[in-house]
Structure 1
């Protein structure tokens, strides 16, 4: 990857994380569960198109390893929570479940 591609990939990941952190919670607070569904339909889909679906997309991948935007938002939310004083030990069960399900999903995709 070139330096430009690395910067574009980091930018695309940061924009997605920023939107999830700032917009998703506000939609849930305003509209309840329906707001969560609206956020789930709008934010990831729009960011997928920007990051992967257009000719000049932001996220560049090289090699045969396939990593999608879930890593970007996971890392972004984790960093944001840590900056705000959150404890990683409280999220250990969620992190374990996310890692385990990612491994299982990757294994299934190999078939």
Structure 2
């Protein structure tokens, strides 16, 4: 009987960590990547337990900064529907912006110009 990779517990654990990692803000992902490099260079291989602890600590930091509300807006400034579990911010002018629309907000409302350094 041939076992599929998807049936292995190690595979499911790795996928769970991947989903949790992608659920974090990009800043937290960057911190984890820097810590992986540091761990690998100075202390040895990254274990699943180490990675779980690293992601859990970033999830904790991310969740501590959130204000939990039960009476949330129906949609954000760009017309996107807000569902239970969504993250958003409200600016000083009262505009509500979903996490997925932050870049649009920065470009269209805050007039931010994104740049990339080259040579």
Which TM class, normalised by the smaller chain length?
0.3 to 0.5
**Higher helix fraction: Structure 1 or Structure 2?**
1
Compare CA radii of gyration and give the structure with the larger one: 2
TM-score when normalising by structure 2: 0.31
